[in-house]
Amino acid sequence: MSELLAKEREVVVPGQVLANGIDYIPGNGTYRHDDKVLANRLGILSVEGKVLKTMPLAGRYMPKKDDVIIGRVDDILMSGWRLEINSPYSAVLPLKDASFDFIAKGADLTKYFKLDDYVVVKITQVTSQNLVDVTAKGQGLRKLRGGRVIKVNPQKVPRIIGKKGSMVSMLKRATDCKVIVGQNGFVWIEGSPEMEVIIVRAIRKIETESHYSGLTESLKGFLEKETGKKIEDDAPENNDQKVN
Amino acid sequence: MEKFERPTKRKPEETRPVEAEAGVIKKADGSARFKIGDTEAYAAVYGPRDLHPKFLQDPKTGILRCSYSMLPFSGDGTRVRPGPSRRSKEISLVTEKALLPVMNLEDYPNTVVDVFIELPQTDAGSRCAGICAAAIALADAGLIMKDMVSAVSVGQVRGHLLVDLDGDEEHMDENEAADVPVAMIPSTEEITLLQMDGIVTKEDLSKALEMVKPALKEIAEKQREALKKKYEREA
């Protein structure tokens, strides 16, 4: 007889027994011990039929192929750039993937990206040892000028973006800021200084309240109060930015 | 054997009051405070992150690096000299060995997870408090762990087995109180730390290990509650 011992969407912790009996199947963030299924990380439980999974609440960003991320130029190499990507590992932007221009051998690489520049890039390859290659060629991939970059919990990025980008487009509409959310937890914001401050506070609010229901509504209220203007529902989408 | 009463009127298998809290150090990837009686430990976890010097890197797995340290004003009032000592190095090492069996850092080759444990106040059982705090902090950092690690000491004073000796009890015995810190993985009851200071017979040691299990499971519950409470409070 199998029984579920934790509720769907409950915060579960390592070693917590989630289910008894062999009918439940351990998925990501869970494991089987004898005939029990236990959690092996801090997260929110999701039950999909017989499969138990936990969605992480904390943890660093792990690079994944095709993620669009924001990196900071950390070092300039012989034939490319090393980017800091808010992860245990750094990424390499090779010369051939940096620009559509032809870059001659021995050219001054700082003409393209200087130290401490922020760049929107896409991950092209991740090896088993977590060596990361990225490209700056593609739609929406570019060097960032102006604005500010903040760091957020990478596990909260999907909530900041929202379903089909709904959350981030609401933030943009409310504040008239440009926003790019990197999957690695770097968020670039550009707009008027007052609005930038509001949007940073809104993002911090999403981070701390993301595991509660009614997030969109409470955030809408917050933005309307702070900006002093009404946010219309489903305004025509003019997303210049595509976020996964 | 004469009747024996603990100075604090605790039952032999009763621990001191436990307080645990997760996420106390905001800038760290994970953190926790664990207090048992008058012994209090803070733990902060950073990482997984790049490991330097490079020769320490392991291409097969990430490594765990623990550092245990007592603050100068902790203890009985004689200043604890800061910096590594023979004792603190030993405890850092056994803490690492106690925590490693629940961790899986194979997904993070060439990196390190740093665990810093600081004790602002100590009254015996500090390595156990440190391990408990570190286990909560590691889970708070979102790392893969198959279970918590819970630790408490068990000792023998004047021939009586007692769980979680405090400083007074350690100094009660005319000869020497035996003190046995134990760390356990609650779900499997595997022991990951077992040290002994003083003399205990083989029979008494087995008895002590049985006696300490319920206390360890209680502590594990406190550790789990602490993590859950962090996400309730933010409601």
Count of CB pairs separated by less than 8 Å, A with B: 89
Cα–Cα distance for residue pair A10/A16, rounded to 1 Å: 12
Q: What is the pLDDT of residue B75?
A: 86
B231–A208 CB contact, under 8 Å:
no
> Touching check for A90 and chain B: CB below 8 Å?
yes
* pLDDT above 90 (res A123): yes
Of B50, B142, B232, which is closest to A88 when you measure between CB atoms? B50
Q: What is the dihedral of CA A193, A196, A201, A204, to 10 degrees?
A: -140
Look up residue A17 and give its two tokens. 């027994």
Q: What is the pLDDT of residue B51?
A: 95
B142–A56 CB contact, under 8 Å:
yes
DSSP code per residue over A68-85: EEEEEEEEEETTEEEEE-
Domain ranges of chain A: 3-56, 68-144, 148-227
**What's the number of domains chain B is made of?**
1
Are A3-56 and A68-144 the same fold in CATH? Answer: yes
CATH number where B35 lies: 3.30.230.70
HSE, side-chain direction, 13 A CA sphere, residue B213? 12
Residue of A nearest to B109 (CA): A129
A residues 5-34 lying closer than 8 A (beta carbon) to B: 11, 13-17, 29, 31, 33
pTM above 0.80, yes or no: yes
Cα–Cα distance for residue pair A232/A219, rounded to 1 Å: 14
Of A89, A129, A212, which is closest to B59 when you measure between CB atoms? A129
pLDDT tier at A214, thresholds 50, 70, 90:
confident
Task: Residue B138: give the domain boundaries.
Answer: 18-233
Residue of A nearest to B60 (CA): A129
B138, part of any domain: yes
> Touching check for A130 and chain B: CB below 8 Å?
yes
Look up residue A205 and give its two tokens. 């609010």
pLDDT tens-place string over residues B55-84: 999 999 999 999 999 999 998 889 999 999
B147, B185 Cβ separation under 8 angstroms: yes
DSSP code per residue over A132-158: EEEE--STT--EE-SSEEEE--GGGHH
Which residues does chain A have within 8 Å of residue B145's beta carbon, measured at their own beta carbons? 14-15, 40-41
> Touching check for A127 and chain B: CB below 8 Å?
no
B12, part of any domain: no
Helices (H), chain A: 157-161, 166-175, 193-209, 215-227
Please state the rounded mean pLDDT for residues B78-101. 96
pLDDT tens-place string over residues A147-189: 999 999 999 999 999 999 999 999 999 999 999 999 999 999 9
B104, part of any domain: yes
B49–A40 CB contact, under 8 Å:
no
Please state the rounded mean pLDDT for residues B154-162. 93
B29–A58 CB contact, under 8 Å:
yes
A13–B50 CB contact, under 8 Å:
no
Percentage of residues of chain B with pLDDT beyond 70: 98
Percentage of residues of chain A with pLDDT beyond 90: 77
Cα–Cα distance for residue pair A46/B206, rounded to 1 Å: 41
B37, part of any domain: yes
CA angle A7, A10, A14 (to 5 degrees): 105
Cα–Cα distance for residue pair A201/A223, rounded to 1 Å: 10
Please state the rounded mean pLDDT for residues A2-21. 92
Look up residue A154 and give its two tokens. 């990478």
Task: Using the structure block, give the residue that is written with the tokens 């005319």.
Answer: B174
Of B62, B111, B142, which is closest to A59 when you measure between CB atoms? B142
User: Which helix H or strand E contains A118, and what residues bound it?
Assistant: strand A118-126
Pairing of strands B111-121, B39-50: antiparallel
Bridge partner residues of B185 (DSSP) = B190
A47, A86 Cβ separation under 8 angstroms: no
Written as one letter, the residue type at A59 is G
The CATH architecture annotation of domain A3-56 reads Beta Barrel (2.40)
- For residues B100 and B172, which has the higher predicted lDDT (pLDDT)? B100
Mutation target among B25, B102, B225, B227 for the A interface, most CBs of A within 10 A: B227
pLDDT tens-place string over residues B11-46: 999 999 999 999 999 999 999 999 999 999 999 999
Domain A148-227 CATH class label: alpha beta
Cα–Cα distance for residue pair A191/A180, rounded to 1 Å: 12
Residue A221 φ then ψ, to 5°: -60, -45
User: Which helix H or strand E contains B232, and what residues bound it?
Assistant: helix B202-233
Cα–Cα distance for residue pair B91/B69, rounded to 1 Å: 9
B41, part of any domain: yes
Q: What is the pLDDT of residue B235?
A: 45
Residue of B nearest to A213 (CA): B235
B146–A211 CB contact, under 8 Å:
no
CATH, domain range A68-144: 2.40.50.140
Of A13, A38, A208, which is closest to B234 when you measure between CB atoms? A208
B149, B183 Cβ separation under 8 angstroms: yes
B118, B41 Cβ separation under 8 angstroms: yes
Q: What is the pLDDT of residue B145?
A: 95
